């Protein structure tokens, strides 16, 4: 419920992508938003108001002179106290009208009379998008501080391929969630490690740690939502990179070490969430080991570099955050680890609380002591951790 308590006006204008807005509305409502839909006359040619009414649980308005508004001020009443107006799809015609401050229908009047931010998700044919007139309008709208979500490039309803497709409903809904997250890490560069490492024994076998990568990915997403530029160095996991995050895939601890050390000096914050294997195989075989060759093989192990400790030791290095997954004595072990690695903040969790699942229980340990967070989903905890990091690192 990431949009709990948020009041959103969803404007729908005339384009074939209007059918995607029904799904978008459902996603916004599912996240807890209170959504008032307003459509242009043209939009009702593509999808009926009844669809949006059923999904929002509220009457849908199209007409400026709607008799349901006793004071004839639908444009003011409907967007009063709105936290955001989102127009999806935003047609070329609609953008042209609002770029020029026109108020010739209800939705355009609401946009002109608003005192909240406005986001547009353009949708139109490729040639309409590329037309200099549209590009001029887009530049003007951006200049007016209006947010633009997309458009994407790809197959179009008209049979052509190119820029102008509306973003998918999930992408628009994600962008709306992002929009509301306070930008406590604006302008910061954040490097994060996540997932396990895999240490090869031979080409098909290896040693690894159990780690789903979910906590690290949730932190990458939260840092991005908070305005940071995020690079995620990830061991092998079955997760998609969060939107807007630069993901670098690695396999072994040595790969991860190289990828991190190459970038660490250029970032402001380093968060080591990966479950790095402590040892790698010294005598890894180039070919698959055969069972019938010379009895039980012996695997020799050699210690891996401690990536976090190395970054923490850099002169002028980033603010470092570590993780301590323990099965007991959380506070004592976590604080000892924090001091040993010489880092300002370590996040402790008991393995039995969070492994592989959606929820977790975290305790933050810094110089001032311990700060237990209320058990919650990994995304909620990630946001709290990001806020704590923002507090400790101070303003930009
Ligand atoms: O030393 P230990 O593995 O218990 O510490 C855990 C913390 O150190 C985690 O933040 C983990 O990502 C990081 N770490 C690392 N490189 C290693 C081992 C752990 O960055 N080789």
Mean pLDDT of 165-175: 96
* Residues 241, 213: Cα–Cα separation, whole Å: 11
Ligand 1 centroid – CA 275 distance (Å): 7
Atom of ligand 1 nearest to the CA of 323: 10
257 C-beta closer than 6 A to ligand 1: no
Residue nearest ligand 1's atom 5 by CA: 324
Among the listed ranges 10-14, 38-42, 75-79, 303-307, which one has the minimum average pLDDT value? 75-79
Which ligand 1 atom sits nearest the alpha carbon of residue 346?
Answer: 10
Q: In this model, does residue 216 exceed pLDDT 80?
A: yes
Residue 356 has pLDDT above 70, yes or no: no
| DSSP code of residue 18 | H
| Confidence category of residue 69, pLDDT binned at 50, 70, 90 | confident
Q: Is 11 helix (H, G, I), strand (E, B) or coil?
A: strand
**Is the pLDDT confidence value at 73 over 90?**
no
pLDDT over threshold 80, residue 215: yes
- The CA 191 to ligand 1 mean position distance, Å, reads 15
| The predicted structure's pLDDT at residue 70 | 73
What whole-number distance in Å separates Cα of residue 64 and Cα of residue 103? 10
Those residues whose C-beta lies under 8 Å from the C-beta of residue 45, and which sit 6 or more positions away, are: 14
212 lines ligand 1 (CB under 6 A): no
- Specify the ligand 1 atom closest to the Cα of 253: 21
Q: What percent of the chain is predicted at pLDDT more than 90?
A: 84
Label residue 290 by pLDDT band (50, 70, 90): confident
Give, for ligand 1, the residue of 306, 319, 347 to mutate: max count of ligand atoms closer than 8 Å to Cβ.
Answer: 306
Residue ID of nearest Cα to ligand 1 atom 21: 306
CA distance linking residue 312 with residue 342, whole number of Å: 7
Catalytic residue among 158, 313, 314, 351: 158
- Asked whether the beta carbons of 272 and 325 are under 8 A apart, the reply is no
Q: What mean pLDDT do residues 236-242 have?
A: 96
Model pLDDT, residue 295: 83
**Contacts for 165 with CB less than 8 Å, ≥ 6 apart:** 17, 123, 150, 151, 152, 153, 154, 155, 156
Tell me, what's the pLDDT at 360?
A: 84
pLDDT at 354 exceeding the cut of 70: no
Query: What separation in angstroms does the CA of 77 have from each of 28, 36, 63, 68?
Result: 21, 11, 13, 11
6 in ligand 1 pocket by Cβ < 6 Å? no
Q: pTM of the predicted model, to two decimals?
A: 0.88
Q: What is the mean pLDDT of residues 86-92?
A: 98
Q: Residue 339 pLDDT more than 90?
A: yes
Q: Report pLDDT digits (tens) over 133-166.
A: 999 999 999 999 999 999 999 988 888 889 999 9
Average pLDDT for 221-237: 97
Listed residue (157, 153, 137, 85) closest to 114, CA to CA: 85
* pLDDT, tens digit (0-9, with 9 covering 90-100), for 369-395: 999 999 999 989 999 999 999 999 987
Q: How far is the CA of 375 from the centre of ligand 1 (A)?
A: 23
CA separation, residue 290 to residues 103, 109, 206, 285 (Å): 77, 75, 15, 11
Spans of all domains in the chain? 7-180, 189-393
* 158 catalytic residue (yes or no): yes
What pLDDT, on a 0 to 100 scale, did the predictor assign at position 71? 74
Whether residue 134 has its Cβ less than 6 Å from ligand 1: no
Q: pLDDT confidence of 355, banded at 50, 70, 90?
A: low
Residue to substitute in 254, 322, 326, 362 for testing ligand 1 pocket (most ligand atoms within 8 angstroms of CB): 322
For the 189-393 domain, the top CATH level (class) is: alpha beta
Mean pLDDT score, 336-342: 96
Q: What is the pLDDT of residue 395?
A: 74
**C-alpha count within 13 angstroms, C-beta hemisphere, residue 95:** 29
Residue 148 CB burial class (10 angstroms; 0-12, 13-18, ≥19): middle
- Ligand 1 pocket, residue 199 CB under 6 Å: no
What residues contact 289, with CB distance under 8 A and at least 6 apart? 201, 202, 205, 297
Is the CB of 386 inside a 6 Å radius of any atom of ligand 1? no
Fold annotation for 7-180: Rossmann fold (3.40.50)
Task: Compute the mean pLDDT over every residue in the chain, rounded to the nearest whole number.
Answer: 94
- The token pair that represents 327 in the structure block: 């099965």
Residue 82 vs residues 76, 108, 225, 257: alpha-carbon distances, Å: 10, 15, 21, 47
Q: Which atom of ligand 1 is nearest to the CA of 322?
A: 10
């Amino acid at each position: 419920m990431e949009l709990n308590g948020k009041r959103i006006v969803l404007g729908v204008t005339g384009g074939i992508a209007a059918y995607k807005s029904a799904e978008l509305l459902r996603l916004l409502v599912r996240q807890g938003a209170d959504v008032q839909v307003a459509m242009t006359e043209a939009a009702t040619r593509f999808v009926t108001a009844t669809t949006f009414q059923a999904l929002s649980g509220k009457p849908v308005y199209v007409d400026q002179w709607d008799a349901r508004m006793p004071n004839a001020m639908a444009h003011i009443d409907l967007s009063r106290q709105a936290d955001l107006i989102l127009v999806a799809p935003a047609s070329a015609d609609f953008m042209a009208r609002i770029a020029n401050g026109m108020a010739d229908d209800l939705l355009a009047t609401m946009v002109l009379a608003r005192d909240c931010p406005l986001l547009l998700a353009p949708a139109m044919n490729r040639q309409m998008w590329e037309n200099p007139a549209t590009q001029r309008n887009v530049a003007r709208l951006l200049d007016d501080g209006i947010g633009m979500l997309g458009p994407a490039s790809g197959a179009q309803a008209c049979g052509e391929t190119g820029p102008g497709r509306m973003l998918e409903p999930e992408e628009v809904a994600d962008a709306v969630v992002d929009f509301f997250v306070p930008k406590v890490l604006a302008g910061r560069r954040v490097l994060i490690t996540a997932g396990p490492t895999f240490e090869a024994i031979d080409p098909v076998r290896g040693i690894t740690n159990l780690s789903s990568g979910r906590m690290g990915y949730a932190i990458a997403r939260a840092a991005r939502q908070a305005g940071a530029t995020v690079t995620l160095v990830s061991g092998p996991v079955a997760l998609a990179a969060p939107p807007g995050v630069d993901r670098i895939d690695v396999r072994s601890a040595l790969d991860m070490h190289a990828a991190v050390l190459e970038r660490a000096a250029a970032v402001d914050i380093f968060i080591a969430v990966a479950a790095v294997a402590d040892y790698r195989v010294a005598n890894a075989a180039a070919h698959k080991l055969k069972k019938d060759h010379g009895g039980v093989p012996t695997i020799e192990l050699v210690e891996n570099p401690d990536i976090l400790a190395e970054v923490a030791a850099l002169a002028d290095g980033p603010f470092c955050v570590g993780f301590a997954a323990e099965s007991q004595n959380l506070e004592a072990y976590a604080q000892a680890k924090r001091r040993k690695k010489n880092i300002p903040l370590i996040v402790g969790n008991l393995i039995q609380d969070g492994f592989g699942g959606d929820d977790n229980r975290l305790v933050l340990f810094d110089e001032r002591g311990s700060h237990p967070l209320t058990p919650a989903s990994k995304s909620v905890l990630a946001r709290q951790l990001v806020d704590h990091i923002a507090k400790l690192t101070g303003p930009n």
